[in-house]
């Protein structure tokens, strides 16, 4: 394996390597070497020999892909940065030379005060202009929330200024006082805004599932639930927002019958996987070859863009999230247009008659 390492150039997002011996389901030992570049930057360094593969750092990458913007202002300059998961990035920073207050009296006092206010005004205006360049893409904010930080009252002036873009004003989730400017202030702002950042994900989740429940209660026909109907909706290009529980315990199997060269796709829960009849052709009794086995959530993450949908991974920690998991199995979608799945599956009507949203 050491020799194998010389073949690598560390990619932009870092490098993950797992190697060792595992025990297969048949009880046989098998040597494995797994290497890949994470889909997002990984800022953890770990070299460890153990009896298991440690995936905690990778799990953290999946936990939250929201990106939050930060503007740190003080009398020396401004910094613009983003935070996504545990990865922070400085996008831009600049310095400023503002005149200090002084005790000169007479006729010069008003002139110096006017010059000072004019430079402060220009500073706030420049920050507002750069904020648009950093945090707005294609006329829409590219961040889930915005934190303003600073050691003076510049941050408050910016938040209340008419020069600050209303689209970014609406994204402000917290204004914090920090003791420093620059990157030290950025780090401190992240710590002080931690509670607000976690609440944003919680609130977004509640709104999303609330919108899903509204489609059901209003009987718009612009919703789907369950594996079968959700996949039908995706294949039709009808799913606008795909909603999946983070702990969805369903596996996607691709099985092939060698005698007919026909491939079947199954979606099985853990208890169904124990039934070996799923892996035998009912007509011929031939054991089916396993072509591919993948958690359904992972398959969605890899393929949702091919169907023109957006993927929202939710938890069951909110009341709405728990309702979605209990009532709909943790998988569903909001549709672009009305689809009558009862025509596609006549048995659906009997199942849905017994469901009452008020029970949850």
Q: Per DSSP, what are the bridge partners of residue 346?
A: none
Write the CATH number for 13: 3.30.960.10
Helices (H), the chain: 2-5, 56-63, 107-135, 154-160, 166-169, 182-192, 194-217, 227-236, 270-273, 296-303, 319-328, 341-344, 348-353
Q: What distance in Å separates the CA atoms of residue 326 and residue 239, rounded to the nearest whole number?
A: 21
219 with 150, same domain?
no
Total count of domains within the chain: 3
Q: Is residue 262 part of a domain?
A: no
DSSP assignment of 145-172 equals: EEEEEESSSHHHHHHH-TTS-HHHHTTE
- Which residue do the tokens 């570049």 mark? 37
Structural domain contains residue 272? no
How many residues are listed for the chain in this entry? 360
Q: pLDDT tens digits for 129-168?
A: 999 999 999 999 999 999 999 987 889 999 999 999 999 9
DSSP assigned state of 143 = S
Task: Report the distance separating Cα 22 and Cα 28, nearest Å.
Answer: 8
pLDDT at res. 65: 64
pLDDT at residue 346 is higher than 60: no
Q: Are residues 42 and 136 in the same domain?
A: no
User: 56 and 73: one domain?
Assistant: no
Tell me if 201 sits within 8 A of 66, measured CB to CB.
Answer: yes
- pLDDT over 90 (residue 204): no
Q: How far apart are alpha carbons 257 and 75 in whole angstroms?
A: 71
**Residues 304, 227 share a domain:** yes
- Is residue 124 situated within a structural domain? yes
Instruction: For residues 59 and 91, state if they share a domain.
Output: no
Q: Tell me the per-residue pLDDT of 1-18, one tens digit each, with 9 for 90 and over.
A: 556 666 667 888 888 888
CATH number at residue 334: 3.30.1330.30
Residue 335 lies in a domain: yes
Same domain, residue pair 92 and 187: yes
Residue that finishes a domain, picked among 63, 91, 106: 63
- The sign one gets for the Cα dihedral 136, 140, 141, 143 is negative
Mean pLDDT, residues 338-354 taken together: 62
- What's the domain range around 25? 2-63
Residues 6+ apart with CB under 8 A from 175: 147, 148, 149, 155, 156, 159
CATH number for 177: 3.30.420.60
The span from the CA of 170 to the CA of 135, in Å, is 13
For residue 6, the Cα-to-chain-centroid distance in whole angstroms is: 34
Please tell me whether residues 161 and 218 are part of one structural domain: no
Residue 266, domain member (yes or no): no
124 exposure class (CB count in 10 Å sphere: 0-12, 13-18, 19+): buried
Read off the DSSP letter of residue 85. T
- 52 and 130 together in one domain: no
Q: For position 229, what pLDDT does the model report?
A: 93
Residues 6+ apart with CB under 8 A from 283: none
Domain membership flag for residue 102: yes
Q: For residue 295, which of 259, 250, 335 has the smallest C-alpha distance?
A: 250
227 in Cβ contact with 331 (< 8 Å): yes
Q: Which of 12-21, 182-191, 285-294 has the highest mean pLDDT?
A: 182-191
Same domain for 236 and 340, yes or no, is yes
Q: Give the Cα separation of 264 and 290 in Å (integer).
A: 10
Both 213 and 314 in one domain: the answer is yes
Question: How far is residue 255's CA from residue 229's CA, in Å, rounded to a whole number?
Answer: 21
Domain for residue 301, yes or no?
A: yes
- Give the burial class of 68: count Cβ atoms within 10 A of its Cβ; 0-12 exposed, 13-18 middle, 19 or more buried: buried
What is the dihedral angle through the alpha carbons of 155, 158, 164, 167, rounded to the nearest 10 degrees?
40
Asked if residue 89 belongs to a domain, the reply is yes
- If asked whether residues 324 and 337 sit together in one domain, one would say yes
Task: Give per-residue pLDDT as tens, 241-276.
Answer: 999 999 999 999 999 888 888 888 999 999 988 888
Last-in-domain residue among 63, 79, 107 = 63
Q: Are residues 135 and 208 in the same domain?
A: no
Query: Is the pLDDT at 349 greater than 60, yes or no?
Result: no
Please state, as a whole number, how many other Cβ atoms lie within 10 Å of the Cβ of residue 20: 15
- Run of H or E residues at 291: strand 289-295
Nearest to 140 by CA among 160, 173, 165, 174: 165
Q: Which of 30, 47, 63 is the last residue of a domain?
A: 63
Residue 73 φ/ψ, nearest 5 degrees:
-125, 140
Report strand pairing: 239-245 vs 223-225. Answer: unpaired
What are the tens digits of pLDDT across the range 185-203? 999 999 899 888 877 777 7
């Amino acid at each position: 394996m050491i020799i194998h390492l010389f073949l690598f150039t560390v990619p932009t997002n870092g490098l993950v390597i797992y190697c060792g011996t595992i025990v297969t389901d048949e009880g046989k030992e098998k040597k494995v070497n797994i290497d890949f570049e994470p889909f997002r930057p990984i800022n953890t360094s770990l070299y460890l020999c153990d009896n298991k593969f440690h995936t905690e750092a990778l799990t953290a990458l999946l936990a939250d892909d929201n990106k939050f913007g930060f503007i740190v202002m003080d009398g020396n300059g401004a910094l613009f940065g983003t935070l996504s998961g545990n990865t922070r990035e400085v996008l831009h920073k600049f310095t400023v030379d503002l005149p200090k207050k002084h005790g000169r009296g007479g006729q010069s006092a008003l002139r110096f005060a006017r010059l000072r206010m004019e430079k402060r005004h220009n500073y706030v205006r420049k920050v507002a202009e750069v904020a648009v360049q950093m945090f707005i893409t294609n006329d829409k904010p590219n961040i889930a929330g915005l934190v303003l930080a600073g050691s003076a009252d510049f941050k408050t002036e910016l938040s209340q200024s008419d020069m600050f873009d209303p689209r970014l004003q609406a994204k402000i989730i917290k204004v914090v006082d920090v003791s420093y400017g620059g990157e030290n202030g950025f780090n401190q702002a992240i710590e002080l805004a931690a509670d607000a950042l976690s609440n944003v994900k919680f609130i977004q989740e509640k709104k999303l599932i609330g919108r899903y429940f509204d489609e059901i209660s209003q009987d718009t026909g612009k919703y789907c639930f369950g594996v079968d109907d959700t996949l039908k909706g995706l294949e039709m290009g009808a799913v606008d927002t795909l909603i999946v529980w983070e702990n969805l315990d369903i596996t996607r199997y691709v099985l092939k019958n060698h005698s007919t060269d026909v491939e079947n796709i199954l979606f099985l829960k853990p208890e169904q996987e124990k039934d070996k009849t799923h892996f035998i052709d009912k007509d011929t009794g031939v054991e089916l070859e396993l072509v591919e086995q993948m958690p359904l959530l992972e398959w969605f993450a890899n393929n949702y863009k091919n169907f023109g949908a957006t993927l929202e991974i939710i938890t069951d920690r909110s009341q709405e999230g728990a309702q979605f998991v209990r009532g709909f199995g943790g998988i569903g979608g909001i549709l672009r247009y009305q689809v009558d799945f009862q025509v596609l599956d006549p048995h659906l009507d009997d199942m849905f008659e017994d469901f009452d949203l008020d029970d949850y």
